[in-house]
Amino acid sequence: MKTLEGKRILVTGGTGSLGQTLVNRLLTGEIGKPARITVFSRDEAKQHYMRLEFMHKRTATDDVIYQDSQDILNFRIGDVRDYSALLGAMREADVVFHAAALKQVPSCEYFPFEAILTNIVGAQNVTRAIRENNLPVEKVVGISTDKACKPINVMGMTKALQERVLIEANRDCPDTSFVCVRYGNVIASRGSIVPLFVEQVRKNQPLTVTLEEMTRFLLSLDRAVDTVFAAITEGFRGETYVPKVAAAKMIDVAKAIMGEKDLPIVFTGIRPGEKIHEIMVSEEECFRTAERGDYYVILPVLPELRDGKDFSPALESEYSSKDKNISIEELKVLLGQSDSEIAHFVIAGK
């Protein structure tokens, strides 16, 4: 399906871990070759290095990506908090992938209003730009997190409201389809625990785990992008796509990365705003959650946004990381499938 063929695409927060992988996949044309891809972010340094990375591709498999990046990839400085800057970028977009966010849990706890401005006001600026200017944006995909489900921390609370702002916008912008994706810990993303474990093992340092009981959903950057692509190609207005992915105890993740080394594991205690287990679909959402292949699809909370068709709820209880944890050997396989230096590290068994 060539959903994005000839489309003008805007990626907010496009210099982040997900944003860069998303742009790379968009450039391959796997769901249609876009007419233009614009990376919108506030960090000129990250844009500079991202531009250089795409320009310096040299391997045969990167030829198409390199050529396409010369033709269609461009960068724009701006902040989603700045309505006028965002509006200027959105005037020339058919599809918006809204990935801009403050996503570090402790940072959001210490600077909650900053999280509000980026995660909630930023989403509101996206919807406002479309609504007040009749922009011809066809689809918006909002990137959310499992922490938005039954949130206890500022990051999760603001992302939960981001979801509601975007989904509700389907009422006011009838010509635009707003959908969301919600997923867990991305293995190779900046600031996540797995790269920290890798660095600690490299330096033969103790591995720091918050609590022995701690569990998390785990997925690769490419699996995260797969979820985004499923939402934009298959999703209907107001839906939230949730991938079916592995969940694991963090102590087992540490042991899987440690490999043959016998390093101590130190329990540091739970951090401000942190959950012991994450939830991707709450028990309140179960009754309006359908199943589509490798995904659970949460129908919109507002009944007027549902199509009214009958379906059988896919879940009887919440979808939690505390259930069905995979083994250390299974974790090694999962980490080895990650397209990152982490995969090479785990496979090499260093």
Ordered DSSP codes for 59-111: SGGGHHHHHHHHHHEEEEE--TT-HHHHHHHHTT-SEEEE------HHHHHHS
Give, in degrees to the nearest 5, the angle at Cα 32 between 30 and 33.
100
| 61 contact partners, CB below 8 Å, separation of at least 6 | none
Q: State how beta strands 246-249 and 215-219 pair.
A: antiparallel
Mapping DSSP to helix (H, G, I), strand (E, B) and coil, where does residue 341 land?
A: helix
| Catalytic residue status for 103 | no
- Catalytic member of 147, 159, 249, 332: 147
- The 3-state DSSP class for residue 145 equals strand
Helix locations, 3-75, DSSP H: 17-27, 44-55, 63-72
To which residue do tokens 């009214």 refer? 308
b vs e for 52-69, b when ≥16 Cβ sit within 10 Å of the residue's Cβ? eebeebeeeebeebbebb
Q: Which are the contacts of 64, defined by CB distance < 8 A and separation ≥ 6?
A: 27, 28, 29
- DSSP notation for 232-285: HHH--TT-EEEE--EEEEHHHHHHHHHTT----EEE--PPTT--SS-EEE-HHH
* Residues with a known catalytic role: 147
